[in-house]
């Protein structure tokens, strides 16, 4: 994906080296890596060898992500974006905007961002799930507009993980956490770190990215099950590997069943046939307007 080279507000926080910018040719490279990692039918042994599936750009991407996602960084980004002060836009305007992340590498085989959203939603619809579930599929990656706001790739995509407490070795490339400044802060490196046992994920801070942002934007319009799907869909260490249960409360546990239910549609809908956008668009227009007002805060 081409990204607009706008001024990155991050430069004021910390100045990453020039070569630290944008290792991925397109954001989807990360999504594709995750899908390969969890390819259906993969043996446990094959899965453990995930590094073999990671090309150098994906590896470099994780190196940056694990190095720069500190508690301090997450708090700054939440303060910057979670108040939703960037103006009112419709879901459709943002979907069109996200689509301007134009793919220039392989226009014939790669689907656009809107197509990925529609494929995910259509797969959910075909399985007869409720309308809010289908809608969650349709909006789940709209938070990637962060990239168009000028955020670096490592602050938009990537497996998410709690910051301010010990890192789980169930997070991919755990060795890269050694370069994170928080690794040198003993108070952040105990099992619970700055949190209380079973404090609930809502009281924990996960690495910042498109999940948290779209959760915030859509929170008041969607049922809680959908909110969990959006907020934690990249939290693979938890929903795939059962890590960080010591931070979850009695409410998170059952809600994570919904995150698990959602995940296969995100991972495996990509290979399917391209959606006939013209044909299905009226359905989605009606669905979006059932839950959302014309314009919402971003
Ligand atoms: Fe996503
Ligand atoms: Fe996705």
Phi-psi region of 197 (alpha: psi -120 to 50; beta: other; left: phi over 0): beta
- Domain map (residue ranges) of the chain: 18-293
Q: Which of the two residues, 247 and 49, has the higher pLDDT score? A: 247
Measure 157 CA to ligand 2 centroid, in angstroms. 10
Ligand closest to the CA atom of residue 146: 1
Residue 258 has pLDDT above 70, yes or no: yes
Measure 111 CA to ligand 1 centroid, in angstroms. 15
pLDDT, tens digit, for every residue of 87-139? Answer: 999 999 999 999 988 655 444 557 788 999 999 999 999 999 999 999 999 99
- What percent of the chain clears pLDDT 90, i.e. is strictly above it? 78
Q: pLDDT value at position 15?
A: 46
Q: pLDDT value at position 104?
A: 52
Q: Which of the two residues, 202 and 21, has the higher pLDDT score? A: 202
Give DSSP secondary structure letters for 55-116.
-HHHHHHHHHHHHH--HHHHHHHHHHHTT--S-EE-HHHHHHHHTTS---S-TTTSPPHHHH
Give the predicted TM-score (pTM) of the model: 0.91
Highest mean pLDDT among 2-11, 63-72, 261-270: 63-72
Q: pLDDT value at position 8?
A: 43
pLDDT, tens digit, for every residue of 185-196? Answer: 999 999 999 999
Q: Which of the two residues, 162 and 10, has the higher pLDDT score? A: 162
Measure 210 CA to ligand 1 centroid, in angstroms. 7
């Amino acid at each position: 994906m081409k990204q607009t080279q706008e001024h990155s507000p991050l430069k004021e926080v910390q100045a990453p080296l020039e070569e630290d910018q944008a290792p991925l040719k397109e954001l989807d490279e990360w999504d594709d890596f995750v899908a390969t990692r969890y390819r259906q039918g993969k043996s446990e042994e094959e899965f453990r060898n995930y590094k073999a599936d990671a090309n150098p750009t994906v590896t470099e991407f994780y190196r940056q992500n694990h190095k720069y996602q500190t508690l301090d960084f997450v708090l700054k980004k939440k303060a910057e974006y979670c108040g939703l002060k960037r103006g009112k836009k419709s879901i459709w305007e943002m979907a069109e905007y996200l689509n301007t992340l134009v793919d220039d590498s392989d226009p014939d085989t790669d689907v656009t961002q809107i197509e990925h959203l529609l494929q995910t939603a259509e797969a959910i619809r075909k399985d007869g799930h409720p309308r809010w579930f289908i809608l969650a599929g349709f909006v789940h990656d709209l938070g990637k507009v962060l990239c168009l706001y000028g955020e670096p790739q490592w602050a938009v995509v990537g497996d998410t993980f709690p910051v301010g407490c010990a890192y789980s070795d169930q997070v991919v490339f755990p060795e890269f956490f050694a370069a994170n400044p928080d690794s040198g802060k003993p108070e952040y490196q105990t099992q619970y770190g700055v949190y209380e046992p079973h404090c609930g994920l809502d009281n924990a801070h996960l690495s910042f990215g498109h999940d948290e942002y779209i959760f915030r934007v859509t929170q008041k319009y969607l049922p809680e099950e959908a909110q969990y799907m959006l907020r934690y869909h990249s939290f693979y260490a938890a929903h795939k590997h059962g890590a960080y249960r010591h931070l979850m409360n009695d409410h998170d546990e059952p809600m994570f069943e919904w995150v698990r239910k959602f995940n296969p549609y995100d991972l495996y809908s990509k290979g399917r046939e391209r959606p006939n956008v013209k044909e299905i668009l009226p359905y989605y227009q009606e669905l979006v307007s059932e839950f959302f007002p014309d314009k919402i805060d971003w």
